[in-house]
Amino acid sequence: MLGCRLPVPGPLEPLYERYYCWKYGASDSGSIHRDELCPYVLALYEALASERGVPLEQVFRGTVYLVPPLKLGRHEAYQVAYFWERGLRVRIGDMLTMGATAPVTVAGAVTLNLAEQLAMCILGWALYGEKRLHLGSAISVMDMRTTIRPYGRPEMAVTNLMTAQLARHYGASFSGHKIL
- 65 occurs within a structural domain: no
Q: Which residue, 178, 169, 155, 40, is CA-closest to 97?
A: 155
- 45 occurs within a structural domain: no
Q: Which residue, 44, 48, 33, is CA-closest to 3?
A: 33
Per-position DSSP letters for 77-129, written without gaps between them: HHHHHHHHTTT-PPEEEE--EETTTB-SSHHHHHHHHHHHHHHHHHHHHHHH-
Q: Is residue 1 predicted with pLDDT exceeding 70?
A: no
pLDDT at 30: 85
Beta-bridge partners for 141: 98
Q: If you average pLDDT over every residue of the chain, what do you get?
A: 91
Q: Into how many domains does the chain fold?
A: 1
- 164 occurs within a structural domain: yes
Q: What is the mean pLDDT of residues 67-88?
A: 93
- 47 occurs within a structural domain: no
Q: Is residue 40 predicted with pLDDT exceeding 60?
A: yes
- 112 occurs within a structural domain: yes
Q: Is residue 180 predicted with pLDDT exceeding 70?
A: no
Domain extent for 136 = 95-180
Q: What is the mean pLDDT of residues 37-41?
A: 96
- 154 occurs within a structural domain: yes
Q: Is residue 4 predicted with pLDDT exceeding 80?
A: no
Q: What is the mean pLDDT of residues 42-51?
A: 96
- 157 occurs within a structural domain: yes
Percent of the chain clearing pLDDT 70 (strictly above) = 97
- 62 occurs within a structural domain: no
Residues 148-174: tens digit of each pLDDT: 888 778 899 999 999 999 999 999 999
Write b or e for each residue in 141-179: b if 16 or more Cβ atoms lie within 10 A of its Cβ, otherwise e: bbeeeeeebeeebeebeebbebbbebbeeeebebebbee
Residues 110-124: tens digit of each pLDDT: 999 999 999 999 999
pLDDT at 179: 59
